[in-house]
Structure 1
Amino acid sequence: MQRVIVTDHARKRLYDLRQDRISVNDIEAAAHEIPGHIPTATRFRGFVARSGRVFDLVIKDIATGRLVITIIGK
């Protein structure tokens, strides 16, 4: 299983109203669901947090793992 790295920017966004009720565990689980290698920053849509909140992730694979660049809540 690949390591998931959540950037400081993404962690700060979790405190915004739009990302309310999305946890770091939700983000890590969603990042693990994405198959394959992601060489450039790509937006993946339609993940659902345990709270029911829908969100998107922008992710890129780097040498040390899967980098979560930002979270976009719906």
Structure 2
Amino acid sequence: MKVIITEHARKRLKDMRQEKITAGDIFDAAVGIPGKVPTATRFRGFIAKSGRIFDIVAKDIPDGRLVITIIGK
């Protein structure tokens, strides 16, 4: 599955709240969501390799799965 990370989400990775969350962590989280996601939905409780917990907001589009934003805990 193709995962597309928006520019907004990439900018959020630079914020302190999302510190130590990588694009690879986001890719793994997005691929791990089962089924179809027709509308933007928040998925909670992913754990980055660094141990940081985060949520993602994603939805499916014709090109793949779009990750709209990341929320670090």
TM bucket, shorter chain: over 0.9
TM-score w.r.t. the length of structure 1 is: 0.98
Gaps of 5+ in 2: none
1 CA distance for matches of 2:24 and 2:63? Answer: 19
Does 2:43 correspond to 1:44?
A: yes
Equivalent residues in 2 for 1:19-30 (5 A)? 19-30=18-29
Amino acid at match of 1:62: I
SS in 1 for 2:25: helix
Structure 1 stretches (4+) deviating beyond 4 angstroms?
none
2 CA distance for matches of 1:35 and 1:4? Answer: 13
1 CA distance for matches of 2:28 and 2:39? Answer: 20
Q: State percent identity of aligned pairs.
A: 67
Tell me which residue corresponds to 2:69: 70
Gaps of 5+ in 1: none
TM-score w.r.t. the length of structure 2 is: 0.99
Shift of residue 51, structure 1, vs aligned partner: 0.1
Question: RMSD of the alignment, in Å?
Answer: 0.2
